[in-house]
Amino acid sequence: MSLLLRYREVILALIIALMVLGISLYAPPFGTLSNGVGVLNDTAFLFMMALAQMIVILTRGIDLSVAANLALTGMLTGMFNMVFPDLPAPLYVALALLIGGGLGLINGSLIAFLRIPPIVVTLGTLAIFRGMIVVVDGGSQVNTSDMSSTFAGFPKLELFGLSSVFWIAAIVAVLAWFFLGQTRSGRGLYAVGGNPVAARYCGISLPFQQMLAYGISGAVAGMSGYLWVARYGVAYVEIASGYELTVIAACVIGGVSIGGGVGTVAGTLLGALFIGVIVNALPVMQVSPFWQMAISGAVILAAVIINARAEGRALKLILPEARRAAAQAKR
Amino acid sequence: MSDPSIHAPSSRYTVADHAPRKISAILLRWESILVMMLAAVIIGNTLKSPYFLDPFNLADATYNFSEKAIMALIMALLILVREIDLSVAAIVALSSLAIGYMGAAGYGPVPLIATGLAVGMVCGAFNGFLVTRSGVPSIVITIGTMSLYRGIAQVSLGDQALTTYPQHYLDLGQSYLFDWPPTPLSFFLFLLLAACFAVFLHKTAAGRQLFAIGANPVAARFSGIRVDRIRLILFTISGLLAGLGAVLLTARIGVMRPNIALGWELDIITMVILGGVAISGGVGTIGGVVLAVFVLGLATFGLALMNVPGIVINVLLGLLLIVSIAAPIVIRGQSGRR
């Protein structure tokens, strides 16, 4: 099984490589190193948000509130910065992690302790978080002119040409890889998603794993909120509207099973990169940006259907399986 | 019939059709809670604003939820069989696009309506085809088709709008079907369809099959229920009713832009969940959904009368959704429905 999974990620990487090659032949500026750096910088938010979403989906959950969380936390840190300007940037990051994580834990406790289905909870908190932005700021905006230099400058810092947002995403990826692969609670996420009953018998606590997953999802969304607001220089109610579906799409393309228990860090990163390449290729190919949505829709469908073929169709085989079982029972 | 022991009057062998009905059980039914919520909304709004109970005001209030409510009926059936259709709002956009092009080409109301319904139905059938053939969860498939359908509308129209429609068509969405009581066509169609759906779901064998699929699709398949065919039909109807929503909405607002009906899928799902349809399938009634439609619609209308901003109304409706689902679970203890 793990061989097959690895195989699938290699395939996805090859498809992305072919796509980049094809686009570069058609539009040579796309193949340059500086453009590649640009794509990575641009996709940085999607990398970390998709990883956080994967952690939730692993537990058979879904977090639709991430984009609203991003917008609310971004607004709150922006307003905090207006009151306390010129604090060191890591403090803003820490604050955003705390606020976002707190919002995520609200989701988590409703799901873990009241056992309300995740899609219901996060659908509700999506509306609540998004609306709270207007409630806290009275419908105004936070603009670049309101932001202090440490606040706004941090996401624009560069190392080897790559922005600090990208490096943070890279750290998130390494942490996610270590956490999911090497720690007890990380493996527990796969266990509760793969087989909740068996996980329970192994002494893995479902509520704990759920709190963990939604807390992480919220914290990453919150941190992205600060970075997003500071990088694009504006916080208002509509930022990242609908972004949760792009994030989920990245997971799905990356081979994360919506049924829980299946998904890898590498696959999710490739899924995000796939979307990032398409989004960035359209302007270079002088295709109207209006195409972006239609193309990503078609790509999602193609990717999931190919993935489903690879996984085989267990459900379709019910009757033949039953017949075989009956035949064996006779013998 | 031949074995008298089955019909022996011994209480030991009496099998009742249903558990004895207790008043507390009836009061704790989800629909009863919704009725109480609806009563609270109506009383609260009447006390707050003298304009709330005006029949013409109420009739105009129904415009804001009737199209969504029509789509909520079929969404309820989809969720009942453990499926979901996130692409409905995008289908509205694509159908409305087709209607807009037909209108711009100078066709009359009948071809416009037929086009809208046909495009919706084709989109829905495509969803159903993908879901039943690929075995991929419908939430994933319809996230994909949502982008695809709305993307096509965006590609075709860009930042333009379509605004040419025949007057007879616009009248459908902008005048009353009956003058007294004032009834818009969309609201009348909602009531009519709700009655049809209720009879179908609760009084026919085919309706019972949906509950069987929702409770256990594998067992349903083994019982000879054509699970995949039913799924395909439900998705097709979902597309058809989204097409109907597009016909009504386009006539009402008289303009088509690619962002038409943006985000409606979440509003519609909120109606269905508040209506007591379990997201895990197998539980739900049309009556509950209809009540939830009224609770949400009238609460929104009342808050708007009080000049509460739309986005704050969204916060309150989000809270209403979570609290109304959480409260019975807290009251009954930890063993609530999953």
pLDDT at A324: 66
CB contact under 8 A, B140 and A295: no
pLDDT, residue B16, reads 73
> Which of the residue ranges A214-223, B33-42, B311-320 has the most confident prediction, judged by mean pLDDT?
A214-223
For residue A68, give the chain B residue with the closest CA.
Answer: B315
The answer to whether the CB atoms of A135 and B154 lie below 8 A apart is no
Among B81, B83, B86, B148, the strongest candidate for a mutation testing the A interface, having the largest count of A CBs within 10 A, is B148
Contacts of B279 in chain A (CB under 8 A): 117, 119-120
The model carries a pTM of: 0.83
Confidence band of A261 (pLDDT split at 50, 70, 90) = confident
CA of A104 vs chain B CAs: smallest distance (Å) = 15
Interface contact flag, B146 A290, Cβ < 8 Å: no
Contact check, Cβ <8 Å, A249/B143: yes
Give the range among A266-270, A322-326, B174-178 with minimum mean pLDDT: A322-326
Greater model confidence, B152 or B8? B152
pLDDT at position B227 is 93
Q: Is B3's pLDDT higher than 80?
A: no
Where exactly are the structural domains of chain B? 21-329
Identity of residue A166: F
Query: Which residue in B has a C-alpha nearest to residue A309's C-alpha?
Result: B134
Mean pLDDT of A297-317: 66
Residue A1's pLDDT band, with cuts at 50, 70 and 90, is: very low
Minimal C-alpha gap between A259 and chain B (Å): 8
From the candidate CATH numbers 1.10.3470, 2.60.120, 3.40.50, 2.60.40, the one assigned to the domain spanning B21-329 = 1.10.3470
Chain A hits for B146, CB-CB cut-off 8 Å, are 245, 297
Listed residue (B41, B26, B27, B50) closest to B291, CA to CA: B41
Say if the Cβ atoms of B273 and A123 lie within 8 Å.
yes
Nearest Cβ partner for A237 among B311, B325, B329: B311
Taking only the tens place, the pLDDT of each residue in B219-255 is 999 999 999 999 999 999 999 999 999 999 999 998 9
Q: Is A175 exposed, middle or buried (0-12, 13-18, 19+ CB in 10 A)?
A: middle
Chain A nearest C-alpha distance from B175 (Å): 32
Between A97-101, A323-327, B35-39, B60-64, the lowest mean confidence (pLDDT) is in A323-327
Gap from B151 CA to chain A (nearest CA, Å): 4
Look up the CATH number of the domain holding residue A267: 1.10.3470
Q: Quick count: other Cβ atoms within 10 Å of Cβ A232?
A: 14
The predicted pLDDT at position B1 comes to 45
pLDDT grade, residue B76 (50/70/90)? very high
Residue B229 is predicted with a pLDDT of 94
pLDDT at B335: 45
Residues A175, A177, A178, A179, CA torsion sign: positive
Q: For the segment A288-304, what is each residue's pLDDT rounded down to a tens digit?
A: 777 877 887 887 788 77
User: Do B97 and B247 form a contact (C-beta atoms < 8 A)?
Assistant: no
Per-residue model confidence (pLDDT) at position A131: 86
The yes-or-no verdict on residue B337 having pLDDT over 50 is no
Distance from the Cα of residue A54 to its chain's centroid = 6
DSSP assignment string, B69-82: HHHHHHHHHHHHTT
Q: How many CA atoms lie within 13 A of B153 on its CB side?
A: 28
**Mean pLDDT confidence for B127-155:** 88
Contacts of B333 in chain A (CB under 8 A): none
**CA angle, A134 then A139 then A141, to 5°:** 110
Angle at A293 between CA A286 and CA B321, to 5 degrees: 155
Q: Which residue has the higher pLDDT, A26 or B291?
A: B291
> Closest chain A residue to B321 measured between Cα atoms?
A124
CA angle centred on B314, ends B313 and B319, rounded to 5° = 100
Closest-CA residue of chain A to B329: A114
pLDDT tens digits, A157-201? 777 878 888 898 999 999 999 999 888 888 988 988 888 888 888
Whole-number CA gyration radius for chain A? 21
* Mean pLDDT calculated for residue range A37-53: 90
| pLDDT above 80 for A216 | yes
B267/chain A closest Cα distance in angstroms: 9
Where residue B188 falls among pLDDT bands split at 50, 70, 90?
very high
Nearest CA in chain A to B267: A123
pLDDT at A55 (0 to 100): 93
Domain carrying residue A201? 2-330
Number of domains in chain A: 1
Q: Which residues of A touch B326 (CB under 8 A)?
A: 110, 114, 116
Contact A123 B147 (CB under 8 A): no
Q: Kindly report the average pLDDT of chain A as a whole number.
A: 83
